[in-house]
């Protein structure tokens, strides 16, 4: 399609807008409804979580400042590329970091600061729920957070009228609708076998657990309504449009799809929503989603069972700690280059360090790194400490140091994936996306070694969830005639180009040796948190 036709699509509002609130960036992505595989404008805003009063959080003011900035940049990008400033959209959708805890009273006031997925303060409540429910409840899930608040006798719990996720909150403010996509909802509370509702029996068990607390509410009454992909989830109100642009430059009326979590949009952005497919999203956290052919035979605390945006069951291996520590090292080397009088662009720093990692020894030469900035539920660590250590005869080279850092980013994920393999979960191909894969080949090769699976990276891998959310918004226009899987196959990925890397035998053996040292050294983490 020519730029002129895209200009007309933008001017006439025949577009879909996707917004995703990630851990470090808020991104906005615009696609034409008729050619959703094409990204025609982008905008982004950088932000960061805060450590306040013993918890990781973001302020809601920062949410809206960031969204407005990302949307403004997208509109300016559209003007620069196509000669027209978008002032309306045909459809739109919002996604954000899954899980966490946002509790509001009857007047819509936030009761306590947003508690993000990164917090591990609800481990005790999560264990209680696992025992009561007989299914795994990770401590990042909303139900674990609310039970922990109840058990800790936090005074706000008696005033709870509405619980939601970050995506659900933004959607509510834009539309007035308290709904949530099933993928994101499945990180709040378990979904039943229909894939369209919270599990009624487990809701009743929760209410019985807290019956003596005199809360004055039932859990079912404070959770959002569930929607699946393709269902209408409201429209952009005038008040909502002013949250996107306080100057009134965006018209209300866009239809919104159900808000989703970043896991669901990652699945959509990689076309990994059918059984035997999976995807890895690498950012501040790192997680893998694998669509299941059958239920897991046993309960595993390393594995969560959630849902695709269409409501199909999927296993999630979620590690709180992803590429952040690698980014810290990149910043260190960027500063060294600047101090030496030879400043280097940050992307080039990453590319150089990843190239060195590729040249490192398959087992990182005896260098061991931990990327644990926060606690890690899979490892049963309530706190983390980033560390680098090595054997006395280790070969301390830049390549080995950086390979150890990349391996560290993949190690917790690999531990969880080995649990799935023990269950006989079959996987034909793992798709990968996120900024770590912008440097061609290297992270992809090392991830293939860590998972011992062929890894595919598409040309759109770095666009990530904002594009996936735009696709879900665009799907509203076609949901009456085809399933989400059919829509993605026929209209989005029919001629997509991707690179595939099969695991190298030497790298697989090297990573296995590294992972053995990683497991053996975990007591170092426990000792370090006492310092």
What tens digit of pLDDT does each residue of 466-488 get? 999 999 999 999 999 999 999 99
| Structural contact between residues 41 and 86, judged by C-beta atoms closer than 8 angstroms | yes
Q: Compute the distance between CA of residue 427 and CA of residue 276 in angstroms, rounded to an integer.
A: 5
CATH number at residue 182: 3.30.420.40
Residues 106, 218 within the same domain: yes
The pLDDT confidence band at residue 4, using thresholds 50, 70 and 90, is: low
In this prediction, residue 460 carries a pLDDT of 63
484 in a domain, yes or no? Answer: no
Q: Which of 240, 260, 280 is the last residue of a domain?
A: 260
Tens-place pLDDT, residues 352-406: 999 999 999 999 999 999 999 989 989 989 899 999 999 999 999 999 999 999 9
Residues 73, 180 within the same domain: yes
129 in a domain, yes or no? Answer: yes
| DSSP-assigned beta bridge partners for residue 191 | 198
In this prediction, residue 428 carries a pLDDT of 80
Residues 254, 307 within the same domain: no
Q: What is the pTM of this model?
A: 0.85
Residues 43, 162 within the same domain: yes
488 in a domain, yes or no? Answer: no
40-49, 431-440, 454-463: least confident range: 454-463
Residues 73, 171 within the same domain: yes
Reported for 211-217, long-range contacts at CB under 8 A and 24+ positions apart, including other chains, are: 213/150, 213/157, 214/158, 215/150, 215/157, 215/158, 215/160, 216/158, 217/160, 217/161
Please name which of 97, 103, 173 lies closest in space to residue 143, comparing C-alpha atoms: 103
Q: Which of 204, 231, 260 is the last residue of a domain?
A: 260
Q: Compute the distance between CA of residue 473 and CA of residue 16 in angstroms, rounded to an integer.
A: 6
| DSSP-assigned beta bridge partners for residue 103 | 163
Chain centroid to Cα 492, Å, comes to 21
Residues 176, 245 within the same domain: yes
Q: What is the 3-state secondary structure (H, E, C) of 191-226?
A: ECCCCCCECHHHHHHHHHHCHHHCCCCCHHHHCCEE
428 in a domain, yes or no? Answer: yes
Tens-place pLDDT, residues 165-218: 999 999 999 999 999 999 999 999 999 988 899 999 999 999 999 999 999 999
Q: Is the pLDDT of residue 5 over 80?
A: no
Overall domain count for the chain: 2
Residue, of 414 and 497, whose pLDDT is higher: 414
Q: Which of 260, 288, 307 is the last residue of a domain?
A: 260
Q: Is the pLDDT of residue 2 over 70?
A: no
Tens-place pLDDT, residues 260-305: 999 899 899 988 888 888 999 888 889 999 999 888 889 998 898 9
In this prediction, residue 20 carries a pLDDT of 96
15 in a domain, yes or no? Answer: yes
Residues 282, 185 within the same domain: no
Residues 528, 386 within the same domain: yes
Residues 311, 249 within the same domain: no
486 in a domain, yes or no? Answer: no
| DSSP-assigned beta bridge partners for residue 368 | 389
Task: State what percent of residues in the chain have pLDDT above 70.
Answer: 98
| DSSP-assigned beta bridge partners for residue 317 | 288
Range(s) of the domain holding residue 523: 272-459+497-531
315 in a domain, yes or no? Answer: yes
How many other C-beta atoms are found inside a 10 Å radius of the C-beta of residue 46? 11
483 in a domain, yes or no? Answer: no
Q: Is the pLDDT of residue 519 over 80?
A: yes
In this prediction, residue 1 carries a pLDDT of 43
Residues 8, 146 within the same domain: yes
Residues 24, 68 within the same domain: yes
Residues 216, 334 within the same domain: no
| Structural contact between residues 403 and 361, judged by C-beta atoms closer than 8 angstroms | yes
Q: Residue written as tokens 């560290």? A: 408
């Amino acid at each position: 399609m020519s730029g002129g036709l895209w200009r007309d699509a933008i001017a006439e509002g025949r577009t879909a807008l996707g917004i995703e609130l990630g851990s470090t960036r808020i991104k906005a992505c615009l696609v034409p409804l008729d050619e959703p595989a094409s990204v025609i404008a982008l905008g982004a805003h950088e932000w960061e979580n805060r450590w306040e009063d013993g918890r990781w959080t973001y302020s809601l003011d920062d949410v809206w400042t960031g969204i407005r900035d990302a949307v403004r940049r997208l509109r300016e990008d559209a003007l620069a590329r196509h000669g027209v400033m978008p002032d309306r959209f045909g459809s739109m959708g919002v996604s954000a970091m899954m899980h966490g805890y946002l509790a509001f009273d009857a007047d819509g006031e936030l009761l306590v600061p947003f508690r993000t997925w990164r917090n591990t303060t609800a481990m005790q409540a999560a264990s209680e729920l696992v025992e009561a429910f007989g299914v795994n409840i990770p401590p990042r899930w909303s139900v674990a957070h609310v039970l922990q608040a109840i058990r800790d006798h936090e005074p706000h719990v008696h005033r709870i009228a509405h619980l939601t996720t970050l995506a659900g909150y933004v959607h509510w403010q834009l539309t007035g609708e308290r709904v949530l996509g099933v993928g994101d909802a499945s990180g709040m509370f378990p979904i039943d076998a229909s894939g369209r509702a919270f599990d009624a029996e487990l809701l009743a068990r929760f209410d019985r657990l807290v019956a003596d607390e005199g809360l004055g509410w039932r859990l079912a009454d404070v959770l959002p309504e569930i929607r699946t992909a393709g269902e209408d989830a409201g429209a952009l109100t005038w008040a909502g449009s002013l949250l996107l642009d306080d100057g009134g430059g965006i018209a209300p009326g866009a239809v919104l799809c159900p808000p989703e979590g970043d896991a669901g949009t990652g699945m959509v952005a990689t076309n990994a929503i059918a059984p035997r497919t999976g995807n890895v999203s690498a950012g501040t956290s790192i997680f893998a989603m694998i669509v299941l052919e059958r239920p897991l035979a046993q309960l595993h605390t390393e594995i969560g069972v959630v849902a695709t945006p269409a409501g199909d069951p999927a296993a999630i291996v979620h590690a709180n700690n992803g590429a952040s520590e690698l980014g810290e090292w990149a910043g260190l080397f960027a500063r060294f280059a600047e101090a030496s009088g030879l400043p280097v662009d940050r992307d080039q720093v990453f590319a150089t360090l990843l190239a060195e990692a590729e040249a490192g020894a398959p087992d990182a030469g005896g260098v061991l790194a931990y990327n644990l900035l926060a606690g890690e539920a899979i490892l049963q660590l309530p706190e983390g400490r980033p560390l680098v250590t090595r054997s006395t005869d280790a070969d301390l080279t830049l390549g080995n140091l950086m390979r150890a850092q990349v391996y560290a980013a993949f190690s917790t994920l690999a531990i969880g994936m080995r649990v799935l393999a023990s269950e006989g979960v079959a996987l034909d191909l793992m798709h990968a996306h996120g900024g770590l894969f912008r440097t061609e080949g290297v992270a992809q090769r090392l991830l293939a070694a860590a998972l011992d699976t062929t890894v595919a990276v598409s040309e759109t891998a770095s666009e990530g969830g904002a594009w996936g959310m735009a696709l879900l918004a665009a799907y509203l226009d076609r949901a009456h005639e085809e399933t989400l899987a059919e829509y993605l196959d026929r209209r989005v990925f029919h001629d997509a180009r991707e690179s595939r890397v099969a695991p190298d035998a030497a790298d697989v053996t090297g990573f296995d040796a590294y992972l053995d040292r990683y497991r053996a050294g975990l007591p170092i983490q426990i000792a370090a948190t006492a310092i």
